[in-house]
């Protein structure tokens, strides 16, 4: 039994050796034929000729494939405005609280909210009588012409000399009252331009100008009260009591280099942009900023007027990289 196993193993080894010998001779034959064919192909090519076109990469095509596609905008001289957004209320330019001349009971109220009154008109009557006493009724007279904005009392109510029977305002002239945060208060001054947006009239912008500035800040809110008047033609759709959003222009610069905000990249606290030179090569530039608006920034240093600043695709650029500019 052991003798048969030994014979089988020897036969297997012999077969493997024969297979390896045959494979070696086949390899030698293939290599010899390849060496004979190579000189013939080389002889067909003239000495010193460049390799075939399909084997040589096209440099222009390779450069085009490696170039990053970008959009650019030139640095131009423009006007930039710095503004602060605050909320306010539309009010009548002139409104006055009407007080009685005597304390007593309201016996008659002649006007309601929304009614038009003239200066000197009697708006209510007050009976100053006490139990056991009889006095003639006292008139409550409006001191200005306008519209009744508030009326907090009704017949039968008891009023004192400090009770406002009505509030009358002149709705022909409207203002916006708002409060400027302390950090912007130094910029608030009369004549400062502003834009007003109203919740009731979305998409429309109304021009206004600062007409009154409080000389002191409110100590509780640390804000400065200002009043703005509308400029231009009066719009009957604007009503007292409307909610207003005010864009107050705190600073303006004209004829200064400006670029879109979208072009800037913040790197470790510094602002950089990429420009495309005349060879369409990306150049990394560190810039210093001046005034900023919602869409533009003023460039103090780092760029010149006419430089082509990359506004799209700059996040994938490196200095010295070729770019392909698209409109």
Domains of the chain and any CATH numbers: 68-80+254-325 (2.40.420.20), 83-89+172-251 (2.40.30.170), 100-164 (2.40.50.100)
Provide the pLDDT for residue 201. 92
**Cα 45–47–51 angle (5° rounding)?**
55
Q: For position 205, what pLDDT does the model report?
A: 93
Q: Can you list the alpha helix ranges (DSSP code H) found in 180-298?
A: none
pLDDT > 90 fraction of the chain, expressed in percent and rounded: 57
pLDDT band at 32 (very low <50, low <70, confident <90, very high): low
Least confident of 19-33, 250-264, 302-316: 19-33
Average pLDDT over residues 254-281: 93
In DSSP notation, 60-116 reads HHHHHHHSEEEEEEE-EEEEEEEEEEEEEEEEEEEEEEE--SS-EEEEEE---TT-E
| Segment 116-166, tens digit of pLDDT | 999 999 999 999 988 778 788 899 999 999 999 899 899 999 999 999 999
Residue 50 has pLDDT above 50, yes or no: no
Q: How far is CA 185 from the centre of its chain?
A: 22
Instruction: Say whether pLDDT at 27 is over 70.
Output: yes
Distances, alpha carbon 200 to alpha carbons 90, 117, 252, 284, in Å: 12, 27, 29, 47
């Amino acid at each position: 039994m052991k003798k048969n196993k030994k014979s089988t193993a020897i036969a297997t080894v012999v077969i493997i050796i024969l297979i390896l010998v045959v494979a070696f001779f086949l390899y030698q034959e293939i290599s010899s034929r390849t060496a004979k064919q190579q000189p013939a192909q080389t002889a067909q090519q003239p000495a010193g000729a460049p390799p075939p076109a399909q084997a040589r990469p096209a440099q222009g095509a390779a450069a085009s494939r490696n170039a990053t596609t970008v959009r650019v905008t030139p640095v131009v001289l423009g006007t930039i405005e710095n503004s602060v957004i605050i909320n306010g209320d539309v009010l009548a330019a002139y409104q006055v609280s009407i007080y009685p001349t005597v304390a007593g009971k309201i016996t008659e109220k002649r006007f309601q909210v929304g009614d038009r009154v003239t200066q000197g008109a009697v708006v209510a009557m007050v009976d100053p009588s006490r139990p056991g006493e009889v006095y003639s009724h006292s008139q409550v007279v409006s001191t200005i012409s306008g519209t009744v904005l508030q009326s907090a009392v009704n017949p039968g109510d008891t009023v004192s000399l400090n009770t406002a029977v009505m509030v009358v305002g002149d709705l022909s002239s409207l203002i916006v009252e708002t409060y400027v945060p302390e950090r912007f208060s130094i910029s608030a001054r009369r004549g400062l331009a502003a834009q007003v947006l109203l919740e009731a009239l979305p998409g429309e912008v109304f021009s206004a100008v600062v007409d009154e500035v409080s000389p002191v800040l409110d100590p509780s809110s640390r804000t400065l009260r200002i009043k703005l008047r509308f400029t231009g033609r009066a719009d009957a759709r604007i009503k007292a009591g409307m909610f207003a959003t005010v864009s107050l222009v705190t600073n303006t610069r004209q004829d200064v280099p400006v670029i879109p905000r979208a072009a800037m990249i913040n790197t470790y606290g510094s602002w950089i942009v990429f420009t495309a030179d005349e060879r369409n090569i990306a150049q990394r530039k560190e810039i210093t900023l001046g005034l900023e608006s919602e869409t533009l920034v003023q460039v103090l240093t780092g760029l010149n007027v006419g430089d082509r600043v990359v506004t799209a695709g700059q996040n994938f650029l490196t200095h010295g990289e070729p770019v392909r500019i698209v409109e």
